[in-house]
Amino acid sequence: MGKMKAVLKLTRIEHSIILLVAVIAAELISAHHLPGLAVFVLSMITPAFVSMGSFAINDYYDIGADRANKRMDRPLVNGSLTKRQAMWIVVSCFVIGVLASLFINAYAFVIALIFAALAILYSYRLKDMPVLGNIYIAF
């Protein structure tokens, strides 16, 4: 598996593409039009990269379970990416997503920061706590 394909697999890019459709729909519904180009692009970058970081960090912490379950489709299990590379991807995605939100407005920044923090908490601890893990997934 090539590195770029492994990165796209780790970050579940297909979920971000679906998310972008939802963002466009929300912008059209709430504002009755699309915002200016800069805000439009930033409003695409923010959720896409926070989502990509969320999937990547989840795989990072799930590597043991994925190995035990022989999930050879996972880049960290099949060796396409190292744990160090995955963590760089996680940090990069979260930083890009949260920084992009700063240029939208304060609300977008707070929301992006909360979602990034929740993704980290979920992957690190909450998924092992049945009720809290389920609340996060429902959220």
DSSP state of 74: S
The more confidently predicted of residues 103 and 33 is 103
pLDDT (tens digit, 9 = 90+) per residue, 36-47?
A: 889 889 999 999
Q: Summarize the confidence of residues 101-117 as an average pLDDT.
A: 96
CB atoms within 10 A of CB 59: 25
Q: What pLDDT is stored for residue 84 in this prediction?
A: 97
- CA 108/CA 63 separation, integer angstroms: 31
Q: Summarize the confidence of residues 78-83 as an average pLDDT.
A: 95
- Residue 51's CATH number: 1.10.357.140
Q: Does residue 3 have a pLDDT over 80?
A: yes
- CA 56/CA 5 separation, integer angstroms: 13
Work out the mean pLDDT of the chain and round it to a whole number: 89
Q: Summarize the confidence of residues 29-58 as an average pLDDT.
A: 90
Q: How many domains does the chain have?
A: 1
Q: According to the 3-state scheme, what is the secondary structure of 97-136?
A: HHHHHHCCCHHHHHHHHHHHHHHHHHHHCHHHCHHHHHHH
Q: Residue written as tokens 């090539």? A: 2
Q: Does residue 131 have a pLDDT over 70?
A: no
Q: What pLDDT is stored for residue 128 in this prediction?
A: 63
- CA 125/CA 72 separation, integer angstroms: 24
The more confidently predicted of residues 34 and 23 is 23
Range of the domain at 87: 3-138
Q: What pLDDT is stored for residue 33 in this prediction?
A: 74
Q: What pLDDT is stored for residue 48 in this prediction?
A: 97
Q: What percent of the chain is modeled with pLDDT above 70?
A: 89
Q: Does residue 134 have a pLDDT over 60?
A: no
